[in-house]
Structures are given as C-alpha cells and as structure tokens.
Structure 1
C-alpha cells in the first residue's frame, strides 16, 4: 500500500488492484470500517492528530474474501 496523503484528522492511501476483485474491505485496527469499489481509500475526517493507525485491505469477489494484507501504518500529522 502507498500513503497518498495525511492531514491532522484524515488519511488517504491506495494499493495495487487485484485481478477479479469486485470490491475491497478496509480494516482499521483489525475492525472492518468500509467497503470500497476501487483500489484507494480516504478516511472520514475524524481521526486523532499525531496518531498512528494500522490498516489492512482484503479483496472481495463472488468467491468470497481474500486474506487481509499485511499491516500498513499511517500517522496523522500534528495539529498546527
């Protein structure tokens, strides 16, 4: 996964598309928080400043859900 951006309350990242995937599940601290149709994600703007967040992604299609990705950590920026 690749971090695209981080502010004090929001993060954005992307990952390589998985052939055959129809959607992706996003996990934060191992709890499912979203399902997206493309290979990128932008969080809600309610994260805490200067905090490390652990994300995982899994691919989904009619056969089911893949294994989750390795942990991917993004830290939000400090508040100005």
Structure 2
C-alpha cells in the first residue's frame, strides 16, 4: 500500500467578507476523496491561508475553515 503525502505550509492570516448567501464547495484533507457538500460561510470570518501540497505537488493556496475543511483561496470562492 502506497502512502500519499500531503502537507501544508502557512501563508498568512486573511480576513474576508462574504455574503453568506451561496453555499461553497469545500475539500476534505487529508482524505481528499471526500468532498463536503456546499456550506454557508459566516460573513467577516477569519481563516489562515496555506499552500497545500498533494502528492508533493502544490495544488494552490487554500483557507483552512476547520480541522479537515478547506476552501480554495480565490476571489470567486468568496463571492
């Protein structure tokens, strides 16, 4: 059985303002096969931003919303 290597690297704290009226698709790490259904975000929430590596490859910056819940860090993910 091959072990999948995932890692995260802290970028910076980031404060965002969201409308909270549209559910957002999130990713579950380290178990990337599981996707959470759309969730509603609280306006003016503050999350840490990380570079996330999956199998050694950078898959981009993500906000950590909870212990295993991640939201892709992009402008359209927050509208």
Q: TM-score range by the shorter chain?
A: under 0.3
What's the TM-score once normalised by structure 1's chain length? Answer: 0.24
What's the TM-score once normalised by structure 2's chain length? Answer: 0.24
